[in-house]
Amino acid sequence: MSREETIARYERSTHRLGRIVSVVTLILLVGAPFVIGSFLGAMPDVSAVVRGFAAVGLVWTVSSVVEFLVYTPMLGSGGSYLAFITGNLINMKIPCAINARDVAGVKAGTKENEIVSTLSIAVSSLVTILVLALGVLLLQPLQPILQSEALQPAFDQVVPALFGAMAYKYYRKNLSLAVWPLLLMSLVFILLPTLQSQTSILIIPGGGLAILLAWLHYRKEKKQ
Amino acid sequence: MNVIQQLSSPTMYLICGGIIAFIATVCVIFAVRAWRAGKAIGMDTAVLKRVVTSSASFSVLPAVGILLGVIALSGALGIPWPWLRLSVIGALHYETQVAQGAAEQVSIQLSGSEMTASAFATIALLMSVCIMWGMILNLFLNKKYTNRLSKNSSSGSSFGDQAMTAMFIGLVSVYIGSYLGIWISGNGRFTFAGSVLPLLTALCAAAVMAILTHLAEKLKAKWLEDFSLALSMLAGMACAALLNTVVK
């Protein structure tokens, strides 16, 4: 079988499998509260769910649309299906896939990247499932250690540690591209402190500016 | 048996553990398919192995952080439900916020002492409904969206890779900018009274990443590259634990 045929077959089956498991996961996740409710002897209050969705859910819906538009091109089809099923995108799956792309030396948009990102997200999800399962199993002995006053700040700062390391890795090779988005975003968060809790929404303008600068640089290089 | 005991009963473990086992199986299937496809199109096994090693080593620390989310929510929701939520689809920053918002809708505080069976079922449903949209968009639009992206990238433009790198730089800048904003204006504009810890943690992790990158390049140590992100994060977190005693 030729490379093209192999890829086409892989892609077709990825979409088929991705859709099937997405539907099954959705049924399981929405159905679970009802199954648990019947076990507990009380069903969910649907009107409270509707009110709650209006109060807290709409923000997350907008955030989901942004995440889908931004992350899907980074992850490819297989990686996207899996990442949106397993969650923890920004604090784990996206940096993991980007790091794997660098380790493998593949380029975004290629079939190799699609494969690397799917593999990295699958492995990352399995490690998370394993760590959480072990953690739950050993919750009694682990709880005092993990929640100790000394270690608490370390675990509160997982995401800053992650983005600090990633920032060095990406800024050093693309400093001219990084300066303006960093400056603009810093100013936004300094001047409008209320946005500090809305970081996911600001990914669009931050990323958009970086892409615009990269495009201008690309055009300039092409002309030369 | 009170509600909080029921929420950590074997039946709950069975329901939630069953769903987690299904997702784990899905991950194994996707991983095996990707590995086989990689081999079929001629990718080097050593490269695929490095992807697995670096992804696994990178994921351990954030996973322990996520485990803390399970512990934090277990007081009000029992252990199995937060375990499920944070193993599948959920996100650390999302779960507590939505659970809190949902608890307000059923007029209780998010605590074990106030939890009722009906309140739990309602909170659990709202937690599922609020975060499922990414998956729904994927279900209906992934194929169209990725096909369009493939057409664009195969139409002669080589900008796709640079665009993705730029997008990630923009994303990182949003977070680093937010740490600066938290410090300078987190407790009132230009008061410099907010927490400086996220910024210092990021700087420390970046410094260690710089050292490790330099070493990996100088010693031509590929293995060090694979672990550099995990080690930098560990250093950043250690730095946060140490600095927490002297700064806020």
Which 3 state secondary structure label does DSSP give B194?
coil
CB–CB of A210/B170 below 8 Å?
yes
Length of chain B as a residue count: 248
Question: CA A207, CA A95: separation in Å to the nearest integer?
Answer: 15
Cβ–Cβ below 8 Å for B166 and A36: no
Is residue B188 located within the same domain as residue B129?
no
- pLDDT grade for B110, boundaries at 50, 70 and 90: confident
Question: CA A195, CA B177: separation in Å to the nearest integer?
Answer: 11
Is residue B108 located within the same domain as residue B35?
yes
Q: Say which range, A201-205, B78-82, B90-94, has the weakest mean pLDDT.
A: B90-94
Chain-centre distance for alpha carbon B60: 11
Task: Tell me: pLDDT of B114 over 80.
Answer: yes
- Selection from A129, A217, A74, A13 nearest residue B146 by Cα: A74
Upper half-sphere CA count for residue B186 (Cβ side, 13 Å): 18
Provide the domain count of chain B: 2
Structural domain includes residue B230: yes
Is residue B30 located within the same domain as residue B118?
yes
Is residue B23 located within the same domain as residue B97?
yes
Is residue B64 located within the same domain as residue B110?
yes
Is residue B23 located within the same domain as residue B104?
yes
**End position of a domain, from candidates B68, B102, B136:** B136
Task: Tell me: pLDDT of B241 over 70.
Answer: yes
List C-alpha distances in Å: B226 to A108, A195, B84, B209, B229: 19, 35, 29, 12, 7
- pLDDT grade for B90, boundaries at 50, 70 and 90: confident
CB–CB of B33/A121 below 8 Å?
no
What tokens does A218 get?
């690309």
Structural domain includes residue B39: yes
Task: Tell me: pLDDT of B41 over 80.
Answer: yes
Convert the pLDDT of each residue in A144-183 to its tens digit.
777 788 888 888 898 899 899 999 999 998 998 999 999 9
Is residue B10 located within the same domain as residue B129?
yes
pLDDT at B76: 87
Range 177-196 of A in CB contact (< 8 A) with B: 177-178, 181-182, 184-191, 193, 195-196
- pLDDT grade for B155, boundaries at 50, 70 and 90: low
Higher-confidence position of B16 and A139: B16
What tokens does A132 get?
């959480």
Which residue bears the tokens 């050993």? A138
The answer to whether B60 contacts chain A (CB < 8 Å) is yes
Is residue B34 located within the same domain as residue B92?
yes
> Residue B1 has what DSSP assignment?
-
Section B70-95 average pLDDT: 85
Is residue B117 located within the same domain as residue B58?
yes
Instruction: Label residue A108 left, alpha or beta by phi (over 0 means left) and psi (-120 to 50 means alpha).
Output: beta
The answer to whether A141 contacts chain B (CB < 8 Å) is no
CB–CB of A139/B45 below 8 Å?
no
Chain B residues touching A179 at Cβ < 8 A: none
Q: Say which range, A120-134, B96-110, B148-162, has the weakest mean pLDDT.
A: B148-162
Considering chain A, what is the average pLDDT of its residues?
A: 90
Task: Tell me: pLDDT of B150 over 80.
Answer: no
Chain B residues touching A18 at Cβ < 8 A: 138, 142
Which residue bears the tokens 């992850």? A75
Higher-confidence position of B96 and B212: B212
Considering chain B, what is the average pLDDT of its residues?
A: 90
Section B201-227 average pLDDT: 92
Predicted ipTM beyond 0.95: no
Convert the pLDDT of each residue in A42-101 to its tens digit.
999 999 899 888 887 887 788 888 889 989 988 999 999 999 999 988 889 999 999 999
Structural domain includes residue B143: no
Cβ contacts of residue B22 below 8 Å, gap of 6+?
Answer: A24, A25, A28
Is residue B74 located within the same domain as residue B41?
yes
Structural domain includes residue B144: no
pLDDT at A56: 77
Which 3 state secondary structure label does DSSP give B43?
coil
Alpha helices in chain A (DSSP H): 3-40, 46-52, 58-86, 94-104, 111-137, 139-146, 152-156, 158-171, 175-191, 203-223
Cβ–Cβ below 8 Å for B181 and A28: no
Return phi, psi of residue B188, to 5°.
115, 135
Chain A: residue whose CA lies nearest to B154: A109
Chain A residues touching B3 at Cβ < 8 A: 40
Selecting from A67, A131, A195 the residue whose C-beta is nearest the C-beta of B64 gives A131
Longest dimension (CA), chain B: 66
Structural domain includes residue B11: yes
Structural domain includes residue B151: no
Section A30-48 average pLDDT: 94
Is residue B51 located within the same domain as residue B173?
no
Chain-centre distance for alpha carbon B161: 24
Convert the pLDDT of each residue in A78-88 to its tens digit.
999 999 999 98
Sign of CA pseudo-dihedral A194, A196, A197, A200 = positive
What secondary structure does DSSP assign to A141-183, as a single string?
HHHHHHT-TTTHHHHHTHHHHHHHHHHHHHHTT-HHHHHHHHH
pLDDT at B40: 94
Which residue bears the tokens 């996520």? B66
Question: CA B53, CA A62: separation in Å to the nearest integer?
Answer: 34
What tokens does A66 get?
């942004």
Chain A residues touching B58 at Cβ < 8 A: 95-96, 99, 124
pLDDT at B248: 67
For B34, the domain range is 3-136
Structural domain includes residue B225: yes
Is residue B76 located within the same domain as residue B174?
no
Distance from CA of B232 to the nearest CA of A (A): 6
Q: Which amino acid is at A134?
A: L
Structural domain includes residue B193: yes
Best of A107, A123, A179, A209 to disrupt the B interface (most B CBs within 10 Å) is: A123
pLDDT at A108: 83
- Selection from A98, A18, A133 nearest residue B16 by Cα: A133
Chain-centre distance for alpha carbon B244: 23
